[in-house]
Amino acid sequence: MYRIRALRLACAAFEVDARMVRIGGRWLASADTASGPSLGYGESPFAALWMALAPFDGVIDELLTTVPEDALRG
């Protein structure tokens, strides 16, 4: 069974729903966008989430400041 981590990230202008899951030692993340989900993957939860947030260029750093610290632990 996989443990999905659901997150709501925020910046000054909007909020983003994201999810992360560890599969086979790697991480998969998705972030909701106006065009549908954006996916990211990586060796760490941070890398996967960063890639999934790519459509939000310009506010990615601000969104990441709202991620709970324990959510980025592998």
State the CATH number of the domain containing residue 54: 3.30.160
What value does the mean pLDDT of the chain take?
95
What domain count does the chain have? 1
Would you call 19 exposed, middle or buried from its count of C-beta atoms within 10 A (0-12, 13-18, 19+)?
middle
* Model confidence band, residue 73 (pLDDT cutoffs 50, 70, 90): confident
Give residue 21's pLDDT: 97
Residue 72 has pLDDT above 90, yes or no: no
* Model confidence band, residue 69 (pLDDT cutoffs 50, 70, 90): confident
Give residue 2's pLDDT: 84
Domain that holds residue 15: 5-72
Residue 74 has pLDDT above 80, yes or no: no
Secondary structure of 1-53 in HEC code, one letter for each residue: CCCCEEEEEECCCCEEEEEEEEECCEEEEEEEECCEEEEEEECCHHHHHHHHC
Contact at 8 Å (CB) between 32 and 10? no
More confident residue, 32 or 71: 32
